[in-house]
Chain A
Amino acid sequence: DTGVSQDPRHKITKRGQNVTFRCDPISEHNRLYWYRQTLGQGPEFLTYFQNEAQLEKSRLLSDRFSAERPKGSFSTLEIQRTEQGDSAMYLCASSLGVGGPSRETQYFGPGTRLLVL
């Protein structure tokens, strides 16, 4: 499968624990996005990378959240001191970034479903 992959697919943790998710984008894609989706809502933008540079972070991303893309390939999203409100589906998407935003297609991964008890 050459699509976007995410690991793990499911994570159950206790409040206060740290969790880390990984996203592997499509290999030649230079842009990578993280979104969060809660029940009954559409995906909400969290952050995005162009190559290894993190170019924008949403105000939804509190200080407990950090994302990296160290070599411009895979990315990790870490949540420290998890809270029950962090329970959600975390989606990763990647894109090739040519032709401007109107022509860009974001390819989504299957998501990581987080449950904080």
Chain B
Amino acid sequence: AQRVTQPEKLLSVFKGAPVELKCNYSYSGSPELFWYVQYSRQRLQLLLRHISRESIKGFTADLNKGETSFHLKKPFAQEEDSAMYYCALGRGSNYKLTFGKGTLLTVNP
């Protein structure tokens, strides 16, 4: 069965500090991995997908198949990064997403 684990429910950092939100997955096939973000009072939205290999709002994530991880990183956190972050696994042809439980990131001034 596929599963997404985000080990930290809460993560608090100071502005300007590096941040890493962890995500591990279990899936026997070829995974499609995403990070979704939900800012306060806003709807859930896509932040980035592993296939794009691009930086969005300064965030990057690398798929490590050996460690089955897809950690989200940003070198210098900003206060506006404070939000709930969900790692999600998409698989096969049915397009549905399996989400982790989320990590609430707080960036303190």
User: What residues of chain A have their CB less than 8 Å away from a CB belonging to chain B?
Assistant: 3-4, 31, 33, 35, 40-45, 48, 55-56, 91, 93, 95, 97, 101-111
Contact = CB atoms under 8 A, between A and B. Distances in A.
B55 interface: no
Nearest to A55: B94
Interface residues of B, number: 25
Interface string B64-99: 000000000000000000000010101111111111
Contact of A48 (B44, B49, B95): B95
B44 to A, nearest CB: 4
A42 B88 CA distance: 9
Contact of B32 (A43, A55, A97, A101): A101
Contacts of B46: 105-106
